C-alpha cells in the first residue's frame, strides 16, 4: 500500500478512527506536551543558564564562558605538546576540541535563534573569538608536530585501537587542509583568510534569514493577515510555499527573493575567499578541498560517475514535472494558469495532485496530523526499533530561550538516559524559516570523570502554534521535515563514541544525511504512519549543481547569471527577473561544495530501506543492526565501511546510480491519468 493510498484509507475509514478517538481520550505524555500550549510557571528561585550552563543566565555570561574555555585551551595545548606520543595525545586533542566546541556550538545556535538581541550579539562575538583561536590552532606547528610524532611511529600506531587511530588521522587532516605545510608567511595569510571567512560566513548566514519588507499599501488589504506587520510595512520572512493562495505565494516569492546588493557583494567575496584559500593550501578549487574527507575521498571517479549518470534522466524528468504541474495548475485554478509560469512555489501543487487523485479534502485528514500524534508515532517507532523512549521534561527557569521550547529526555530500556533533545518547533518573530539540527554538546567518554558526557541537540522547525481549540496540525511537508530532523537527532543520541570529535553527526557530510533521509522512508510507510503523502524535491540536483559551480573555478560572471542558467538546465523552469534565490541558500555556508551529499545520502538511504526495512519497518533485529553498524560510530569509522556493514555487501557505482534514479523517476503520468478519471 502506498503512502497516498494509506492516506485515502484513513479518510475513508474515519468513522473507525472516530470510534477509537472516543474510546481512547488520553494522550501519552509526549503527545500531550506537543499538542497543548505551554503553561507559564512562576519561578521564585535563582535562574539557571541556557541549557543548564550556569554562566549563561545573561548575555555577559558568554564572555565568562569564552574566557574559561580559552584558559583551558592554553593548558591543554601545553599538555598536548609536551606529553609523550600515545593514546593520551589523542585524548588531550579531543578534550581541547570538546572544550572549544561546547561554547562555540552553543553560541552558533544562540546567535540565530535567541529572541533577545543582546544574547544574539554576545553569542556572535563568542563565535568569532573562538573561531579565530581554532584557525590559529589549526596552523600551530608545535601542536601538529606532537600529532605527527604519534602517527609517524609505526610501533605506537600499532598499539592504538581503530577509533583512536582514526581520530588522530582526522585531527592531522584538519591541520593539512588548513595549510600547516606552508611557510610562516603563507600560514599567516591562510589564517587571515580563515578569519575573514568567519565574518563573511556569519554575515551571509544572518542575512539569508532576514525578512524583506514592503509598504502595506502595495499589497491587497485582504492578504495582510498572511504576513507580519511592521508599522506601515509588511514583513515577508519566507516563501509561504504551503499557502493554497496563488497570490500569497507570488507576493512572497517576489519580495522575499528580491536582490539585496550588500548580500550579493558578500556572496561574491565569500566565494572569492574560499577559492583563494583552496589555491593557497594546494587545491585546484574549494570544491576539490571540500571533497577531501567524504565518502568519495578516495574515488573522485566514483563521484563523477555517480553525479553525472543521473543527468540523462533529468531532461525527461523536468519536462514531465513541468507538464504535470502545469496540468494540475490549470485543473485547480483555471483562471490563474498564466501566473504559474512566474511562481516556483509548487508544494501545494504536489499535495493537490494526491488529493485530486484520491478525492481527499485537506479538512478531512488534517485532524489526524497533529504534532502530538506525530511525536507519539516517532516515539513508538524508536521504541520498536531501538528500545528507546522520548520522555517529556519540564525545563528549569532560564534553561530555554523561549517558553514554547519543549525538552525531551531520550531513554533506553536498559542503557538508561542517552541524551537530551530541545524542540524549538514553533514560529516566532525573527526566527529563521529553516528546519535544522544543531549539536550543542557532543557525546564522549570522559577520562577525567569516568562518565559518559551525554549529547545535547536542538531541533528547529517553524510550525504554527497550537490554539485554545486545536493543536498544531501539520502539512505533509511539515511532517516530512519533522521526521528528517529527528533522524539527525537520533544519530546524535544513539552514538556512543569514545571521542566527541566524531560523535553523532560529526562525520563526513555525505554520510550525515543518510539517517535523516532514511527517516523519510519510515514516514511514507503505511505500517509506520498511515496518514502521510510525500513528494520528492526535484530541486536537490539543481542545488547540488549550483553549489558545485559556485565552488569550482571562477566563472567571471555574476552568481545570478549562473543561477539563471542552472535553473533553466536542471529545474526546467524560467528564472523570474529581479529575484536572487542564491542569497537565501544558507546551505552554501554549512554545505559549501558538499550539497551533493543529499543525493549521495538519498542513494544510500534508498538501498538501506529497500534491503533492510521495506519488508518490516518495525523489525527490532534490523533496528539494532542499523544502530550497531551505522548510528553508533558517528565519524569514528569510514562511512563506506558502515554502509557495507549494514548492507552486508559492497555496493557498486551502478547500485548507487540505480538507487538514486529510482527515487528521481516516479511515474507522474499515472497521477495525471488518474485525476482525469
- List Cα–Cα distances, 457 to 106, 188, 673, in angstroms: 9, 35, 45
What is the tally of helices (H) and strands (E) in the chain?
Answer: 29, 10
461 SS3 class: strand
Q: Residue 673, class by beta-carbon neighbours within 10 Å (0-12 exposed, 13-18 middle, 19+ buried)? A: exposed
Is the distance from CB of 559 to CB of 582 less than 8 angstroms?
yes
CA Rg value for the chain: 25
Q: Residue 268's CB: how many other CB atoms inside 10 A?
A: 12
C-alpha cell at 632: 553508533
* 3-state secondary structure at position 528: coil
What ranges make up the beta strands (E) of 147-303?
Answer: 212-215, 228-230, 233-236
3-state percent breakdown (helix, strand, coil) of the chain, nearest 5: 60, 10, 30
Bridge partners, 391 (sequence order)? 409
Task: Report d(CA 338, CA 502) in Å as an integer.
Answer: 51
Strands 388-393 and 416-426: unpaired
What whole-number distance in Å separates Cα of residue 334 and Cα of residue 338? 9
Cell 578516495, residue located: 298
Task: Give the DSSP letter string of 398-434.
Answer: TTSSSTT-EEEEEEETTTEEEEEEEEEEE--TT--S-
Q: Are 625 and 617 in contact (CB under 8 A)?
A: no
Pairing of β 388-393 and β 233-236? unpaired
Task: Give dist(CA 408, CA 534) in Å, integer.
Answer: 27
Crossing angle, helix 184-209 and helix 117-137, to 10 degrees?
160
Half-sphere exposure (Cβ direction) of 145: Cα atoms closer than 13 Å: 7
Q: Do residues 296 and 302 touch, judged by C-beta distance below 8 A? A: yes
Q: What is the DSSP letter of 28?
A: -
Cα separation, 355 vs 325, whole angstroms: 14
What's the DSSP call for residue 451? E
Give the distance, in angstroms, between the CA of residue 227 and the centroid of all CA atoms in the same chain: 26
Catalytic positions: 485
Give the Cα separation of 59 and 130 in Å (integer): 16
Eight-state DSSP code of residue 631: I
Amino acid at each position: 500500500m502506498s503512502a497516498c493510498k494509506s492516506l485515502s484509507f484513513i479518510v475513508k475509514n474515519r468513522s473507525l478512527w472516530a470510534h477509537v478517538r472516543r474510546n481512547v481520550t488520553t494522550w501519552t505524555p509526549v503527545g500531550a506536551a506537543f499538542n497543548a500550549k505551554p503553561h507559564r510557571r512562576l519561578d521564585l528561585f535563582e535562574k539557571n543558564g541556557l541549557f543548564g550552563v550556569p554562566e549563561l543566565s545573561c548575555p555577559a555570561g558568554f564572555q565568562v564562558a569564552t574566557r574559561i574555555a580559552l584558559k583551558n585551551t592554553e593548558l591543554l595545548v601545553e599538555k598536548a605538546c609536551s606529553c609523550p606520543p600515545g593514546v593520551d595525545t589523542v585524548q588531550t586533542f579531543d578534550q581541547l576540541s570538546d572544550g572549544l566546541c561546547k561554547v562555540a556550538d552553543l553560541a552558533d545556535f544562540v546567535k540565530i535563534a535567541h529572541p533577545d538581541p543582546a544574547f544574539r550579539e554576545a553569542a556572535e562575538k563568542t563565535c568569532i573569538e573562538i573561531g579565530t583561536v581554532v584557525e590559529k590552532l589549526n596552523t600551530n606547528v608545535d601542536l601538529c608536530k606532537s600529532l605527527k610524532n604519534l602517527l609517524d611511529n609505526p610501533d605506537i600506531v600499532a598499539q592504538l585501537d581503530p577509533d583512536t587511530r582514526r581520530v588522530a588521522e582526522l585531527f592531522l587532516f584538519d591541520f593539512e587542509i588548513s595549510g600547516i605545510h606552508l611557510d610562516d608567511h603563507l600560514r599567516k595569510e591562510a589564517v587571515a583568510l580563515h578569519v575573514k571567512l568567519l565574518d563573511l560566513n556569519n554575515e551571509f548566514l544572518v542575512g539569508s534569514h532576514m525578512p524583506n519588507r514592503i509598504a502595506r499599501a502595495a499589497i491587497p488589504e485582504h492578504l495582510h493577515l498572511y504576513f507580519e506587520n511592521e508599522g506601515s510595512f509588511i514583513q515577508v520572512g519566507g516563501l509561504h510555499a504551503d499557502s493554497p493562495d496563488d497570490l500569497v505565494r507570488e507576493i512572497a516569492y517576489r519580495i522575499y527573493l528580491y536582490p539585496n546588493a550588500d548580500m550579493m557583494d558578500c556572496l561574491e567575496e565569500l566565494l572569492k575567499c574560499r577559492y583563494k584559500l583552496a589555491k593557497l593550501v594546494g587545491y585546484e578549487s574549494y570544491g576539490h578541498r571540500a571533497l577531501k574527507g567524504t565518502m568519495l575521498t578516495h574515488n573522485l571517479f566514483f563521484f563523477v560517475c555517480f553525479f553525472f549518470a543521473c543527468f540523462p534522466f533529468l531532461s525527461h524528468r523536468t519536462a514531465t514535472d513541468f507538464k504535470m504541474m502545469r496540468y494540475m495548475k490549470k485543473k485547480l485554478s483555471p483562471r490563474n494558469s498564466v501566473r504559474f509560469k512566474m511562481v516556483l512555489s509548487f508544494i501545494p501543487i504536489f499535495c493537490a495532485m494526491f488529493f485530486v487523485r484520491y478525492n481527499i479534502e485537506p479538512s478531512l485528514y488534517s485532524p489526524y496530523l497533529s504534532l502530538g500524534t506525530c511525536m507519539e508515532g516517532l516515539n513508538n517507532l524508536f521504541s520498536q526499533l531501538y528500545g528507546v523512549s522520548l520522555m517529556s521534561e519540564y525545563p528549569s527557569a532560564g534553561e530555554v530561550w523561549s517558553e514554547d521550547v519543549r525538552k525531551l529526555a531520550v531513554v533506553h530500556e536498559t542503557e538508561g538516559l542517552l541524551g537530551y533533545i530541545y524542540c524549538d518547533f514553533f514560529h516566532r518573530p525573527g526566527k529563521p524559516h529553516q528546519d535544522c539540527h544543531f549539536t550543542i554538546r557532543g557525546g564522549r567518554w570522559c577520562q577525567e570523570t569516568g562518565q559518559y558526557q551525554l549529547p545535547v541537540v536542538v531541533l528547529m522547525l517553524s510550525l504554527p502554534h497550537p490554539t485554545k481549540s486545536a493543536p498544531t496540525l501539520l502539512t505533509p511537508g511539515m511532517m516530512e521535515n519533522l521526521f528528517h530532523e529527528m533522524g539527525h537527532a537520533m544519530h546524535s543520541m544513539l552514538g556512543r563514541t569514545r571521542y566527541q570529535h566524531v560523535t553523532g553527526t560529526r562525520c563526513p557530510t555525505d554520510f550525515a544525511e543518510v539517517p535523516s533521509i532514511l527517516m523519510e522512508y519510515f514516514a511514507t510507510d503505511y505500517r509506520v504512519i498511515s496518514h502521510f503523502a510525500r513528494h520528492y524535491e526535484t530541486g536537490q540536483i539543481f542545488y547540488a549543481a549550483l553549489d558545485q559551480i559556485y565552488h569550482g573555478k571562477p566563472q567571471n560572471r555574476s552568481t545570478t547569471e549562473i543561477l539563471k542558467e542552472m535553473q533553466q538546465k536542471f529545474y526546467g523552469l524560467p528564472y523570474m527577473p529581479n529575484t536572487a534565490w542564491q542569497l537565501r541558500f544558507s546551505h552554501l555556508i554549512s554545505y559549501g561544495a558538499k550539497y551533493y551529499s543529499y543525493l549521495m545520502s538519498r542513494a544510500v538511504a534508498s538501498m538501506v530501506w529497500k534491503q533492510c526495512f521495506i519488508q518490516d519497518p518495525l523489525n527490532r533485529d534490523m533496528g539494532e543492526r542499523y544502530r550497531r553498524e551505522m548510528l553508533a560510530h558517528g565519524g569514528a569509522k569510514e562511512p563506506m565501511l558502515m554502509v557495507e556493514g549494514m548492507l552486508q555487501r559492497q555496493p557498486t557505482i551502478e547500485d548507487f546510480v540505480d538507487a538514486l534514479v529510482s527515487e528521481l523517476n516516479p511515474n507522474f503520468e499515472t497521477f495525471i491519468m488518474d485525476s482525469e478519471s
